[in-house]
Amino acid sequence: MSDIGNREQVERCVTGCVIWEPERALSRISDEVPLEAFADSQCRAIVKTALAMWREGQAIDIMTLAERLGGDWARVVSDLNVIQDLVPSPANLPSYLEILKEQFQTRQIREMAEMVLLGIQEGRDNVEVITGIESALSRISDGAVKGRDLPSMKELCSKLLERTQAEAEGRVSFLPTGFFFLDRMMKVRGGELIIIAARPAVGKTAFALNIGERMAKAGYPVGVFSLEMADIEMAGRLVQSMGQVSLERFANQVHSEDDHRGLSMGVSMASQLPIHIDDTPNLNVAQIRSRAKAMHRRHGIKALFVDYLQLTDSMNSRANKTDQIGEISRGLKLIAKELGIPVFALSQLSRDCEKEKREPRLSDLRSSGDIEADADKVLLLHRMEDAVKVIIAKQRGGQTGVVMLKWLPEYTRFENLSPIDEG
């Protein structure tokens, strides 16, 4: 294969990865590769347009990208499909980027050599030629380490001391879940991906909603992506739980006088909470990112809940389920880091724990390799008679362990087992 053919192939592979996995690819391209690295004008135009859409928080797929690129829409869609199909495997993006960067450097060095030769042929002063060489080498060297300015160790240590001192003085630098013993065992901080996993009907949605309610009561606005329940159903769950009205009677519209009082109280309390629910179905992670950024900008959300991970659409319909879940969990982690807020993602567990009649463990996470690797914390719920065991199965930078919570199934509500800080 010629140098030109090889260059074009690599550029198309990187561009194809942008179409396959826009969030992952554009995040790396933005940090590692200048647009000038794409010598092919078509690839450069596609990547430049996709970067602009990504920075604006817009969803990116073949259709939206073609619309933004303009021109003959059918032809543009066809070209994008061809480029996407050229990619042997989107998982090889890091290797494609390394080759692209190396080829860009080689092109820059060749251009520098031609500039030197031209300067000599034109009889320029040696000092002028050498100065030109030094300037070109500096540009090439800077391009090799393209990326954001990194904080010094002094700055990092200063931030660490500030956070430690704030916690010691009770100036909380983390978000409380509202469950006393859970907050003692783990600190929820911005930028974290926290997985809440359980078998169906164990109460993972109720648990997440209870945490969101308690955060909102403490003054922290939260966002919820409800991919399974309609927003009015989610609001009803919140009202019913806070007003302590029987879920069965609430669902069947059979209300006693006490129920009416409870509903009135629940509505009064829930309506004051800064909880923002988006129940748009079939969202992919790029669309969640775009909408989460809008929530963050408009409502100042401090935490985000996604119910649930396996209902999130993949942007890569051709990949297997494991790769799709990996794409989604990586995307949610990037949202947490970009917005500086914790993202709670609910997840299903496999049937193995039920078949073997045991407590759940990390390996029971569906596609657990990807989810476990991306998560900062993993909470597994295990139902007992009148309590739920919250198993902290993973905690990056902290200890694992168990917290017991009281479970009130009639009200789909979790409470501390003791009255400590139950407000």
**In the chain, domain spans:** 3-144, 169-416
Q: Specify the pLDDT at position 413.
A: 87
Q: Specify the pLDDT at position 3.
A: 44
Residue 4 has pLDDT above 60, yes or no: no
Q: Specify the pLDDT at position 251.
A: 63
For the chain, what is the total number of helices (H) and then of strands (E)? 17, 9
What is the C-alpha R_g of the chain? 26
- Tell me the residue type at 283: L
Q: Specify the pLDDT at position 5.
A: 45
CA distance linking residue 349 with residue 340, whole number of Å: 28
CA-closest candidate to residue 25, choices 2, 53, 64: 53
**384 confidence band (pLDDT: 50, 70, 90):** confident
For the purposes of burial, counting CB atoms within 10 Å of the CB of 254, is it exposed (0-12), middle (13-18) or buried (19 or more)? Answer: exposed
Looking at every residue in the chain, the average pLDDT score rounds to 82
Cα dihedral 320, 325, 330, 333 in deg (nearest 10)? 170
**111 confidence band (pLDDT: 50, 70, 90):** confident
Question: Which CATH number describes the domain made up of 169-416?
Answer: 3.40.50.300
Question: Which CATH number describes the domain made up of 3-144?
Answer: 1.10.860.10
**Which tens digits make up the pLDDT trace of 233-274?**
888 888 888 887 776 666 666 567 777 787 888 888 888 899
Residues comprising the chain, all counted: 423
- What percentage of the chain reaches a pLDDT higher than 70? 86
Q: Specify the pLDDT at position 420.
A: 45
Domains 3-144 and 169-416 share a fold: no
DSSP state of 284: B
Residues 6+ apart with CB under 8 A from 381: 196, 197, 198, 202, 203, 204, 207, 360, 388, 389, 390, 391
**Which tens digits make up the pLDDT trace of 187-231?**
898 999 999 998 888 888 999 999 999 999 999 999 999 888 888
Residue 72 has pLDDT above 60, yes or no: yes
- Tell me the residue type at 215: M
CA distance linking residue 275 with residue 266, whole number of Å: 14
CB 413 within 8 A of CB 244: yes
